[in-house]
Amino acid sequence: MTYDFSPLFRTAIGFDRLARLADTVPQDAVSYPPYNIEKTGDDSYRLQLAVAGFSADDIELTAKDNALIVAGRVAEETKGEFLHRGIAARAFTRRFVLADHMVVEGAEIANGMLNVSIRRVVPEALKPRKIAINTVAAAKTITASPELAQAA
């Protein structure tokens, strides 16, 4: 199923990146490992990936060019013979697109869950600011009488 977004972008200016992003969405989305994206505050988010069987040394996080790339690879262990292997420990690479001014603050792994903290940090120069409106006093024209002009 494909969508044509051209009517949406006819009157939009500066949304080229969004149009390219919509064109590059894979048709067969990868579902491993499963993940959640949680909004934890006004400008903070948490990405959670289920990475059972992976340690911190097996996972690599890279933030580059408005993207977060999470890659995992477990060294093959041949300690025994599996009768059933239901816990997937296969290599993966997941790519997440980050909006402008998103900063990856850190990551931790516990109980098979990788938690990545992400925060929007907008520079002061780009934050909305109030503009003070100055008032100009109207010039008063007083016509002085000749008697007052001589007294001054």
Helix intervals (H) in 92-140 = none
Residue with tokens 């200016």: 13
Tens-place pLDDT, residues 11-29? 555 555 666 666 556 555 5
Give the integer Cα–Cα distance in Å for 41 and 60: 26
Residue with tokens 């816990």: 87
Q: Which domains does the chain have, with CATH numbers?
A: 33-125 (2.60.40.790)
- Both tokens of residue 73? 């690879």
Tens-place pLDDT, residues 88-137? 778 999 998 888 888 999 999 999 999 999 998 888 887 788 888 989 88
Q: pTM for the full model?
A: 0.63
- CA 148, 149, 151, 152 torsion: positive or negative? positive
